[in-house]
Structure 1
Amino acid sequence: MKKLILSALLLTVGLSFALPKDNTKSNAATGKVAVEQEKETFSKPYNEEEDADAKLTQLIAKAKKEGKNVFVQAGGNWCIWCLRFNDFVQKDKDIKALVDKNFVYYHLNYTTKNKNAKAFEKYAPEGQKLGYPFFIVINGKGQTTKVIASGDLESGKSYDAAKVKKMFAENTPKK
């Protein structure tokens, strides 16, 4: 009987070493660290102190003068997908050329410290329900012509070039 109990005890101890551990917490922590490290590789295009409503007024005047639309990327330097989109646009030469030709590009900051509520209410009151980033297209008259969610443009941990090009092409100024 002692041998049976001892065998059962050894079997139980052996199995406990062989069973996989719950790594949910450590995987989540590792994921957060990886995202923070990735963020450090990108430029930080959002000005967290800026009065976005005043800046947009200037950019709309510039867009009107140049025959362009204002393309607003709403988000913040805290948002990995916002940083990824900016990096994607800057590095894809075809998309960058399309943007430079047709848009004045602006990064509309949202943080708890500076929510830029006036600009969001004025140009895209429904936009914040979409998640970040989201995009606002404003014509040279200061009218919002489109509010666009970014989720459909994503591919893996980046963006789909064909979908992004199409989105920009569909929102160029109508001449």
Structure 2
Amino acid sequence: MRHLREIIVFAAVMLALAGCGEPPAPPPPPAAGPYPEGADARAAIAVGLQRARESGKRVLLKFGANWCPDCLALEQSFTGDGPTGELIRANFEVVKIDVGRWDVNMDVAADYDEAASNGIPSIAVLDSEGKLLHVTKARELASARGMSEDNIHEWFGDLLKQLDG
């Protein structure tokens, strides 16, 4: 009986010591999304305009948020290897503008005919001098996650025809 008590005490001490090791590592930070939170949107637009002057392209301001599934779906089309990604890269300098939960950069959206006031994702297209050429006002892209790649490509193809017409 005495040995059983010693074994139990020894086991309890060992278990207590096992819990005294290094604290667990903190979880990794969440992955950053495509919309740069905390970025200076006006400075990003200035860089986009400069790139547009150098490349001869237009500037596409893309208003959205990292929590928005439609914004993420549109981003996937823009950055993918498919026809939409190729169309966007060939014709636009893209500037992504985070609107948070409609609590950041809304003043920037206001500068472009309230670009994000009717929902996100929304876009504004500028010429290389900053003149507003087009803005989505009727939630045209607000259901991007339900749009096929072909639908998105067709929408931007039609927009380019309108801008070039």
Q: TM-score, normalised by structure 2?
A: 0.68
Q: How many residues align?
A: 133
Q: Work out which of the residue numbers 111, 119, 138 in structure 2 matches 1:122.
A: 111
Q: Deviations over 1:76-114 (max 9, x none)?
A: 111111111111332351111111111111211102596
Q: Work out which of the residue numbers 162, 165, 173 in structure 1 matches 2:153.
A: 165
Give the superposition deviation at 1:153: 7.3
Larger Rg: 2
Q: Deviations over 1:2-51 (max 9, x none)?
A: xxxxxxxxxxxxxxxxxxxxxxxxxxxxxxxxxxxxxx9x9711111111
| 5+ residue gaps, structure 2 | 1-29
Does the 8 A contact of 2:58 with 2:92 survive in 1?
Answer: yes
Q: Deviations over 1:119-158 (max 9, x none)?
A: 2121232x23321111111111101111125546747x43
Q: Give every structure 1 segment of 4 or more consecutive aligned residues whose post-TM-superposition deviation is greater than 3 Å.
A: 149-155, 170-175
Q: Work out which of the residue numbers 109, 134, 137 in structure 1 matches 2:122.
A: 134
* Counterpart mapping for 1:1-175 below 5 A: 44-112=33-101, 115-125=104-114, 127-148=115-136, 149-151=138-140, 154=143, 157-172=145-160, 174=164
Pick the structure with more helix per residue: 1
Q: TM-score, normalised by structure 1?
A: 0.64
Does the 8 A contact of 2:56 with 2:128 survive in 1?
Answer: yes
Give the superposition deviation at 1:170: 3.4
State the alpha-carbon separation in 2 of the partners of residues 63 and 48 from structure 1. 23
Percent identity at matched positions? Answer: 22
